[in-house]
């Protein structure tokens, strides 16, 4: 499992899980896009957990994962899901319901 914790915060404001299936170009792309967006808009307030379903297939059931890649926002409530390679920044922000820091 690739688990990346940013800023070592005990209780991040944004708790994100990215589900992937192996190191496919699309997964790598999604992860890159996500970190970029988070760094720009949520610096210091987020945590990203990457779950590889090829390694832990049983975890797919819990978050009802079908599409790959899927980003799940577990915090703040309610749960939101964004599927796709997260290439459209605006839509990711809307999907994560991130208010601009500016």
Partner 1 sequence: MTYLQRSVNMKLKRISSQSMERTLPKCPTGIAGFDEITLGGLPRGRPSLICGGAGCGKTLFGIEFLARGAQDFGEPGVCISFEETSDDLAQNAISLGFDLKALERANRLFIDYIHIDKSEIAETGEYDLEGLFIRIGSAIDSIGAKRVLLDTPEALFGGLNDEGVLRSELRRLFRWLKDKGVTAVITGEKGEGTLTRHGIEEYVSDCVVLLDHRLQSGVVTRRMRVLKYRGSMHGTNEYPFLIGQKGISVLPVTSLGLNHKISDERISSGIPGLDEMLEGQGYYRGSSILVSGTAGTGKSSMSAHLVNAACARGEACLYFSFEESPDQILRNMRSIGIDLARWIKKGLLHIHSTRPTAYGLELHLVEMHNLLEQHKPKVVVVDPLSSLMSGAGENPGDLTNMVLRVIDRLKQLGTTAFFTSLTSGGHAAEATELNISSLVDTWLLLRDLESDGERNRVLYVLKSRGMAHSNQLREFLMTKNGVELREAYLGPAGLLTGSARVAQEARERDNELMLKRESEDRRLALNRKLRAAEAQILALEAEREAAQLELKTAAIENENRRTSALTQRADMARSRKVNSSPKAPRPQIPEAGV
Site membership for partner 1, residue 53 (CB under 8 A): yes
- Secondary structure of 31-53 in HEC code, one letter for each residue: HHHHHHHHHHHCCCCEEEEEEEC
Q: What is the Cα–Cα distance from 30 to 24, expressed in whole angstroms?
A: 10
Choose among 34, 47, 15: nearest CA to 89.
Answer: 34
> Using CB under 8 A, which of 1, 66, 77, 100 touches partner 1?
66
Site membership for partner 1, residue 12 (CB under 8 A): no
> Using CB under 8 A, which of 10, 78, 100, 101 touches partner 1?
78
Contacts of 10 (CB under 8 A, 6+ apart): none
Site membership for partner 1, residue 9 (CB under 8 A): no
User: Contact positions toward partner 1, by CB under 8 A?
Assistant: 19, 21, 26, 30, 33, 53-54, 57-58, 60-61, 64-70, 78-88, 91-92, 94-95
């Amino acid at each position: 499992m690739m688990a990346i914790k940013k800023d070592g915060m005990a209780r991040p404001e944004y708790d994100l899980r990215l589900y992937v299936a192996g190191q496919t170009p699309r997964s790598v792309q999604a992860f890159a896009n996500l970190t970029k967006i988070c760094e720009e808009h949520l610096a210091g307030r987020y945590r990203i957990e990457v779950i590889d379903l090829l390694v832990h297939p049983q975890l797919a059931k819990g978050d009802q994962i079908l599409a790959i890649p899927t980003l799940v926002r577990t915090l703040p409530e309610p749960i939101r899901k964004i599927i796709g390679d997260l290439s459209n920044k605006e839509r990711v922000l809307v999907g994560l319901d991130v208010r601009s820091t500016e």
